[in-house]
Amino acid sequence: MLEIVDGRGQETPVHIARPRAPRRATSAEEAVRQIVDSVRLRGDAAVVEHALRLDGVRLRPDELRVDPDAVVKARALVRPELVDALEVMAERVRATSERQLPQPWIDRRPDELVGELVRPLRRVGVYAPGGRAAYPSTVIMAAIPARVAGVGTIAVATPPRPDGSVPESVLAACAVAGIDEVYRVGGAQAIAALAYGTEHVRPVEKVVGPGNQFVTLAKRLVAGWVGTDADAGPAEVAIVAGEGASPDVLAADLVAGAEQGPLGTHALITWIPALADAVCAALEHEVLVHPRGDDVESALVEGGRAVLVRDMRHALDTANSFAPEHLQLSFDGARDALPDVRSAGAVFVGPLTPVAVGDYVGGTNHVLPTGGAARFSSGLGASDFVKRIYVSGLERTALERMAPHVEALAEAEGLPGRARALRARLGDA
């Protein structure tokens, strides 16, 4: 089920290929553009039209927003164990988020000041995906950092069921996060409605949350009009495994990644060939007992990799080059290897730290960069919901001190008006 990639003979990191969807992007991009433009121009009418055409859901414009009372009542409609889990998740993500906010600072000198203000966004939209399953955890992961940042209002959009209802688990998560503004709308039309606003959907300043290809394309189209987070692609896990790793546990970890759908990458990186063989054998049983074994097997055939490397250093270099969404370190002394990790959305250290814990209650966020974007971007956090505003203030002596430098730079750049604006303040115009 895993493609064997033998990189033991090379000095450079081993390349791990990601599965690619068939090239239909042009038609998808055009379809999303038409949806986004129609919502921007026609508002609610376009939203309900696309809901019926694409999802088979018939709604009136005044039904787009879920009754706030239904959000409150949802806590009592789900199992108490789920509410407890959502509250634990929220508390642990809150504790992490509180450490992430940049602090305002002002450097005051006798004749000048320079610094930064930090201001929260006023209004944010969270997209909680649906389709294969309901994702209450995404509501918590996106909303709690925004709350910690001080965002004034949070709105959630999520695809409804065919009968127009929203899963109670998602509504319960909204209640735990203190959100009562929930819209039963999904896909590209949801992103457009949040970005531009409609008669019944108030616009936001930033849209965050994962989604399918249509959601991702829509976020790209509205970016610039509103803020967006990083593109969310198929699930990825890279497991660096060595001495002390259990083949059965590693097989279970690979299946846990593969069950999330097609086009993901699920890579085992090891310098022990016998371990790779044992994991491949253990996968047969794990797939056999999974309720959706055929889908999992297809995902592993498509994106499963067993990468053989020379040693632990080569393995970490390979993982850094791949820059996975999730990086699992399953070998003796894994904690000591953390300084060598440069590129990953989230790292899970040691054999008793599965990705599933991080996805839910580990305290880390599960909205993470995919597709190699961990080389230059980070997972969602409280800092994504604030703006830093630079501040500068000068007295006359400071302006006089800086004048020669401003004039020299203005002359070099061919912008004489800048030098004149300075001289006008000094009475030299």
Please tell me the predicted confidence (pLDDT) of residue 23.
62
The pLDDT confidence band at residue 231, using thresholds 50, 70 and 90, is: confident
80: left (phi over 0), alpha (psi -120 to 50) or beta: alpha
Please tell me the predicted confidence (pLDDT) of residue 25.
55
Mean local confidence (pLDDT), 333-339: 96
Per-residue pLDDT at 248 exceeds 60: yes
**pLDDT tens per residue across span 79-98:** 999 999 999 999 999 999 99
Residue 186 has φ and ψ, to the nearest 5°, of -130, 180
The mean predicted confidence, pLDDT, of the chain is 96
Query: Which of the residues 325, 366, 395, 405 is marked catalytic?
Result: 325
Please tell me the predicted confidence (pLDDT) of residue 27.
86
**pLDDT tens per residue across span 14-64:** 999 999 876 655 788 999 999 999 999 999 999 999 999 999 999 999 999
Mean local confidence (pLDDT), 380-407: 97
Contact 143, 128 (CB under 8 A): no
According to DSSP, the β-strands at 105-109 and 112-120 are antiparallel
**pLDDT tens per residue across span 116-164:** 999 999 999 999 998 768 999 999 999 999 999 999 999 999 999 999 9
CA dist 211 to 50, 170, 196, 224, 360, Å?
17, 15, 19, 19, 18
325 is a catalytic site residue = yes
**pLDDT tens per residue across span 289-320:** 999 999 999 999 999 999 999 999 999 999 99
Query: Which of the residues 50, 266, 314, 326 is marked catalytic?
Result: 326
366 is a catalytic site residue = no
